[in-house]
Amino acid sequence: MENKKGLLENTSYQLIVDLLGEPVSLVKKGDMVSRDELLIKIKKPVDNEIDLAAELGIKPHRAMRFLNKELGESVVREEIIAQRGSFLSSRKVLSPATGELASLDETGILVVRTFIKKEIRAPIAGRVSLLSAKKLGITFPCLKLKGTWGTGVRIGGNLALIEADSAKESAFQVRGDFSDKVLIIQGQLSRTFWFKAASLGLLGLVCPSAGESVSKKFLLSRNQIHPSLLVIGQEKFDKKIWEDLKKYEGREVLINPAKAELIIPLSAR
């Protein structure tokens, strides 16, 4: 049965992480992993181009003969990789990075390839449900709060709640550091509250409804990344739902505007 707006559904969620580069997996599909566990090491190639022909003042087809090393060999930063002329009066080309001489094309462009190493750690405890050369998926048990629409990007933050019924009261209570928070308010969202939330660096905002001045068209025209917004589509939260949400205050949650949902992770078993 499809989840109804404003209700907490006990379900599971698959978090997808894109893998760019050459991944070396330390886990396999089906493994249970802990939060912050090292899962994958990635070696991402970065190409540095040098116009070798121009640097040496020669025609492109002659560039290969002036290389001090063969293509495929390793070089270190500021090593002399090409040289023209005598030892005392010559043009020298230094390597811009530590890496390898990857290629030299017919136009005299030399590529020095270096590698950026990156580690992918589990953002949450769960089960490895997807593992390919380009994607990693971790599935975990959760509570899902479904809304009707949202704006912004998928982002995680620590859950905070404000119970004030009016937008004015809610805005008064928002003070201090909210830079790591996903905030749920009980009152209707106003434009004043929206601007205050944005100025405080709020990551995400969940509200039962939005006033006419805070339309989806208006928010999209702002072209702001944060705060991401989820509108439930009802006058206010049900009292029992609100009490259940309060149990998870301070817990790290995930707001996904594209799917109009808030995800509250539960302990993986």
Number of domains in the chain: 2
- pLDDT tier at 82, thresholds 50, 70, 90: very high
Has residue 168 got a pLDDT over 60? Answer: no
**Domain that includes residue 226, residue range:** 8-14+140-265
Has residue 232 got a pLDDT over 50? Answer: yes
Taking Cα atoms as reference points, which of 161, 39, 53 lies closest to residue 109?
53
The pair of structure tokens assigned to 250 is 């301070």
First-residue to last-residue Cα distance in the chain: 24
Has residue 141 got a pLDDT over 50? Answer: yes
Residues 95 and 170 in one domain: no
More confident residue, 188 or 264: 264
Neighbours of 103 (CB within 10 A): 14
Average pLDDT over residues 24-35: 92
Q: Are 191 and 217 in contact (CB under 8 A)?
A: no
Containing H/E element for 169? helix 167-173
Residue 31 covered by a domain: no
Note the pLDDT of residue 202.
86
Residues 110 and 165 in one domain: no
Note the pLDDT of residue 20.
81
Please tell me whether the peptide bond between 227 and the residue prior to it is cis, using omega within 30 degrees of 0: yes
Residue 133 covered by a domain: no
CATH code of residue 104: 2.40.50
Residues 153 and 245 in one domain: yes
81-90, 121-130, 228-237: range with lowest mean pLDDT: 81-90
CATH code of residue 213: 3.50.30.10
Note the pLDDT of residue 110.
96
Q: Which residue has the tokens 């290389």?
A: 67
Residues 203 and 160 in one domain: yes
Mean of the per-residue pLDDT values of the chain: 86
More confident residue, 169 or 218: 218
Note the pLDDT of residue 89.
62
Residues 110 and 167 in one domain: no
